[in-house]
Amino acid sequence: MNYFRDVSALRDMLGVLYEKAPSETRRAELSRLLEGWGFTPDQASLYASTVLCRNAEGSADWMATNAGHIVGSWIRGEQEGAVGSWLSTMKETWKFNVDLTYEYTTERYEGGITTGPFFQSSYSRYFDRRW
């Protein structure tokens, strides 16, 4: 599959599409172009209907604005447990790049610490999953 180099390249291509194609044929034209670049017909149709959901003047600007809102890293975490007992943490990270690709990672840490008057022990496990 091919990708746009960056959001501005996609915005420029959509701008040309708005100048050259009438509104009733824009989605079909974008879908046809995407198929020529290696998208399957289903992927191209879904992509065109998503990017051109309003199919109105300014959709290219809306797409660029919305892409600008998500580019970068997004992190979500959870932690549960009790002091002197079991502790479990999880961190999910989504990194969206300007070339419209992304990386998703999940990290988990589970550990237990028990304490007593003269005894201390610990146990831990670490997971790292990337897509």
List per-residue pLDDT tens for the chain, 131 residues long: 566 667 888 888 888 888 888 988 999 999 998 898 888 899 888 888 888 888 877 778 888 888 777 778 888 888 777 666 677 888 888 888 776 677 888 888 877 655 555 444 444 454 555 55
Gap between the Cα atoms of 70 and 97, Å rounded: 9
Do 65 and 48 lie in one domain? The reply is: yes
pTM above 0.75? no
Count of structural domains within the chain: 2
Query: Are residue 37 and residue 88 in the same domain, yes or no?
Result: no
End-of-domain residue from the set 70, 87, 113: 70
* Residue 86 sits in the same domain as residue 55: no
CA distance 21 to 8: 20
Any domain includes 2 = no
> Of 19, 51, 70, which marks where a domain is finished?
70
Residue 106: left if φ>0, alpha if ψ -120 to 50, beta else—which one? Answer: beta
Q: What is the reported pLDDT for 118?
A: 47
Residues 97 and 62 in one domain: no
CA 87 to chain centre: 29
User: 82 is in which domain, residue-wise?
Assistant: 72-130
